[in-house]
Amino acid sequence: MDEIKNTNTEIKTEKTSEELKQERTDKQEQLRKTLQETREKLKESDEARASGKGKLTLETPIMSSDNEITELAYDFTALTGMEYADAMDLDQTAGQIYRITYRQGLALFAQAAAKQTDGLDMRDIMERIGVTDAVEGVQLATLFFSASTRAGRLRISKM
């Protein structure tokens, strides 16, 4: 009788071991898919940052009239020189001319997003955007304009 019980236990152990292997394989496959999706999103994000155009999916939606806005399209290249200057002048306390302040970065992002979003202007975006979304917007603006400055230096030559 003991032999029969031991045999049944061994079979259950083997089956459980096979099930564990399958679960582990399934988890590894899911992790691979998640990693691939993340890589694709990062690549798309890097391209948007480099081009100065893209969409920011908002963690905290913005209400405009009765509409809930869940993403903001932005295009820094659509800004005019005067819009850039106005956004930069919003921070009267900015003393360093070689660094974009957080207020300036937010204003630049809000201006670029307002040009691409119906129903919202720059002030609406600046006042209603959530903190984590604002951090992303400031980073996008800072990176774009810092890169533009470096690229602009290559277009300057003497006569």
pLDDT per position as a tens digit, 58-105: 999 998 888 899 999 999 999 999 999 998 888 888 776 678 899 999
Q: Identify whether residues 62 and 108 lie together within a single domain.
A: yes
Structure tokens at 73: 């399209």
Cα(90)–Cα(95) distance, integer angstroms: 12
| Beta strand ranges found along 46-150 (DSSP E) | 53-64, 67-75
Residue 130 located in a structural domain: yes
Average pLDDT over residues 113-135: 92
Residue 61: which of 51, 69, 49, 53 has the closest Cα? 69
Where residue 141 falls among pLDDT bands split at 50, 70, 90? very high
In a domain, 146, yes or no: yes
- Residue 159, domain member (yes or no): no
Same domain, 84 and 126: yes
Structure tokens at 114: 């307002």
Mean pLDDT, range 39-52, rounded to an integer: 66
Q: Which two three-digit tokens encode residue 119?
A: 């129903």
Whether residue 34 is found in the same domain as residue 9: yes
Dihedral angle at the C-alpha atoms of 53, 146, 41, 134, nearest 10 degrees?
-80
Angle at which helices 2-51 and 131-153 pack, to 10 degrees? 50
Query: What integer pLDDT is reported at residue 106 of this predicted model?
Result: 96
Query: From CA 57, how far away is CA 51, in angstroms rounded?
Result: 17
Q: Which residue in this structure is represented by tokens 């394989």?
A: 25
**CA distances (Å), origin 98, targets 16, 80, 82, 88, 149:** 64, 20, 19, 12, 10
Asked if 71 and 106 sit in the same domain, the reply is yes
Count of domains for the chain: 2
Provide the mean pLDDT of the chain: 81
65: left (phi over 0), alpha (psi -120 to 50) or beta: left
92 and 15, same domain (yes or no)? no
